[in-house]
């Protein structure tokens, strides 16, 4: 099921909220959420519900074994088994075809390439199970004794299929003890409307530009290649941050406080800062669980860094462009580490902004082209190699027709809402005005998004495929 469908907005969600409100006590409310979460997932992936339940049971059982044999060999064995199980499950479903294809190409073999359908959300919920098991082993969280409560954590539908990656420690206490205030409800609906607007009014419209430019990269001009990459960078941002906004808003309606996943990444001044603002739940996951893993028996600062970025790329998909994409960003983070924070700050701010945006835009070009041949064409186009035109007639027409969309998209990458909130913090009248304006804007976004969705074809969130 997709958040940006009228069925979800006006049927599934109201039915869930009404049933949830009618349930007495947290235990019954949790039961309601589990049932609706399983229905939500089974709507598009009925066969893979069993896979998710298997993952939940194995990790729940291993968590109990870690608790039972705390500090002993049983603890380590249960942790190792769970980690290997989770990684193997993700590897089989997501990477087996990629691995066999490359073995065939490298060794001239003819091994049948497995055609395994990727379960939606497996990358996200697998990382949640890994974080739970490792945190149990490190004694950062208490082992969950109730399978029902653990299943709620894993299957909670707001974040199930496309994140953010919610760690057990984030909602550990709220599973059994939470409440929902009027301000929570207002915040939740405002956040849902904002996310829906990002997806429907911005990301979906930007996708048309991307398809018309990068989709025909062979015929693109220099300006067209840059134009398409810029539009794609903003499309990815509004699509994924829009999903995260909806997930966070939905969580708040049920009393859960998820961490932020995006903090206006395009205002960054360097690549290190970009990744402190972009897909925060993934970057912090790798930082906390992989960066300091010993390599050849020793913690290696730069080796750990490139291992993190290699895995960041691979996590996004079974394709060489994602590997290159991860290492590409790792290289720039490495360079910035060598330069150092103090010397980076001495570089004029304008130059830092130009540098960071250019790196980000090219990075999303790498992200877009799964075929390396097309990626090579993209690189040639952006530097003008072999291109007969700087800008074409279609580029001019598209830029003119989409000028308001592009300006709006750029403006919306800035922290406008936070700015208004800060201005109104010390003034009650101003705060009331801002809250009223937020409610009106949310209603307008919901109405406009609903109108746009009436005749819309299925347009799932981009991160569903990761």
Q: Which residues are catalytic?
A: 316
What is the distance between the alpha carbons of residues 443 and 268, in angstroms, rounded to a whole number? 30
CB 122 within 8 A of CB 90: yes
Q: Where are the beta strands (DSSP E) in 194-321?
A: none
Torsion, Cα of 234, 238, 241, 243 (10° steps):
-140
Q: Which of 231, 461, 241 is nearest to 364 (CA)?
A: 231
DSSP conformation class of 308: H
What is the distance between the alpha carbons of residues 330 and 336, in angstroms, rounded to a whole number? 10
Q: Which of 284, 288, 339, 290 is nearest to 310 (CA)?
A: 290
CB 445 within 8 A of CB 194: yes
Q: Where are the alpha helices (DSSP H) in 156-221?
A: 168-171, 182-197, 204-213
Token reading at 45? 């992936």
CB 281 within 8 A of CB 259: yes
What is the distance between the alpha carbons of residues 336 and 332, in angstroms, rounded to a whole number? 6
What is the distance between the alpha carbons of residues 304 and 79, in angstroms, rounded to a whole number? 21
What is the distance between the alpha carbons of residues 264 and 274, in angstroms, rounded to a whole number? 9
How big is the chain by its Cα radius of gyration, in Å? 23
């Amino acid at each position: 099921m997709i958040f940006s469908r009228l069925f979800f907005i006006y049927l599934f969600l109201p039915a869930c909220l009404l049933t949830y409100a009618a349930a007495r006590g947290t235990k019954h409310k949790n039961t309601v959420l589990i049932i609706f979460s399983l229905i939500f997932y089974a709507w598009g992936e009925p066969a893979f519900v069993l896979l998710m339940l298997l993952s939940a049971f194995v990790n729940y059982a291993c968590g109990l074994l870690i608790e039972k044999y705390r500090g002993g060999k049983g603890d380590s064995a249960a942790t190792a088994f769970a980690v290997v199980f989770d990684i193997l499950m993700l590897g089989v479903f997501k990477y087996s075809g990629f691995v066999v294809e490359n073995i065939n190409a490298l060794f001239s073999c003819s091994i049948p390439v497995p055609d395994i359908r990727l379960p939606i959300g497996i990358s996200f919920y697998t990382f949640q199970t890994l974080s739970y098991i490792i945190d149990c082993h490190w004694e950062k969280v208490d082992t969950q004794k109730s399978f029902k409560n653990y299943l709620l954590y894993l299957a909670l539908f707001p974040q199930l299929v496309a994140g953010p990656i919610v760690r057990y420690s984030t909602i550990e206490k709220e599973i059994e003890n939470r409440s929902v205030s009027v301000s929570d409800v207002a915040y939740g609906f405002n956040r849902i409307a904002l996310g829906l607007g990002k997806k429907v009014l911005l990301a979906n419209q930007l996708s048309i530009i991307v398809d018309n430019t990068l989709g025909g990269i062979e015929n693109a001009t220099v300006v067209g290649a840059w134009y398409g990459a810029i539009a794609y960078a903003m499309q990815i941002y509004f699509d994924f941050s829009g999903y995260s906004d909806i997930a966070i808003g939905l969580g708040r309606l049920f009393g859960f406080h998820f961490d932020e996943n995006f903090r206006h990444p395009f205002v960054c001044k360097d690549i290190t800062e970009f990744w402190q603002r972009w897909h925060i739940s993934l970057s912090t996951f790798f930082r906390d669980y992989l960066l300091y893993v010993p390599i050849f028996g020793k913690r290696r600062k730069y080796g750990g860094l490139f291992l993190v970025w290699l895995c960041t790329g691979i996590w996004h998909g079974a394709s060489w462009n994602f590997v290159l994409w991860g290492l590409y960003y790792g290289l720039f983070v490495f360079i910035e580490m060598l330069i150092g924070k103090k010397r980076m700050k001495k570089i004029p701010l304008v130059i830092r902004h130009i540098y960071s945006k250019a790196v980000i835009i090219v990075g999303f070009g790498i992200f877009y082209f799964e075929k390396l041949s097309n990626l090579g064409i993209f690189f040639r186009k952006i530097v003008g190699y072999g291109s007969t035109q700087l800008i074409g007639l279609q580029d001019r027409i598209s830029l003119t027709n989409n000028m308001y969309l592009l300006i709006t998209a750029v403006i919306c990458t800035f922290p406008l809402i936070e700015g208004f909130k800060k201005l109104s913090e010390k003034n009650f009248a101003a705060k009331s005005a801002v809250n009223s304006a937020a409610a009106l804007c949310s209603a307008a976004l919901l109405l406009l998004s609903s109108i746009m969705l009436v005749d819309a074809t299925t347009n799932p969130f981009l991160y569903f495929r990761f």
